[in-house]
Each structure stands twice: as C-alpha cells, then as structure tokens.
Amino acid sequence: MNLDFLHVGLPISDLIVGASLYFPPMFKAFLLGSVVWAGIHRVLRNWMYSGEVWHPTLMDLSLFVLSVFSALLLIIRFS
C-alpha cells in the first residue's frame, strides 16, 4: 500500500490534517434549513398525517426544500 499522500511538504497536507476546512454556503444552508424544517415538521406533523393532506410525504419534502431555500436566502442576505 502506497501512502505517498501523507508525506509532509505536499500542498494538500493542510487539507488532509484539517488546518483549513471550507464549508460551502449550500452546506450551511442545508444545516440551517434542516433545523428550521425540524421545527416546522414537529408543529405540522399531526395535521399532515391525519388524512387532510393528499400526499403527506410530498408535502414534507416540499417543506424541507423551502426551508433550505429560505436558509440560503438568509445566508446570502446577511453575509
């Protein structure tokens, strides 16, 4: 097994060790959107699965997409 990528002095060694991690804005939006979606899902869960909504899984997915999109807009607005 050749472990040449672990040698010191390579330009990518900082990224392997973790000295500089980059989190893209979409990743941050996904995390923030997941937290927002979890709160909305908790409030609306009983209503969605009571039978009043035709396709609760599809509505849940659309709420998640809207939450991530809203989080991305917030990150763009306040950055």
pLDDT (tens digit, 9 = 90+) per residue, 18-42?
556 677 788 889 999 999 999 999 9
Tokens representing 28?
């941050």
The pLDDT, as a whole number, for residue 31 is: 94
CA distance 41 to 35: 10
The pLDDT, as a whole number, for residue 23 is: 73
Residue pair 6/16 in contact (Cβ under 8 Å)? The answer is yes
The pLDDT, as a whole number, for residue 19 is: 54
- Helix 25-47 crosses helix 56-77 at what angle (to 10 degrees)? 140
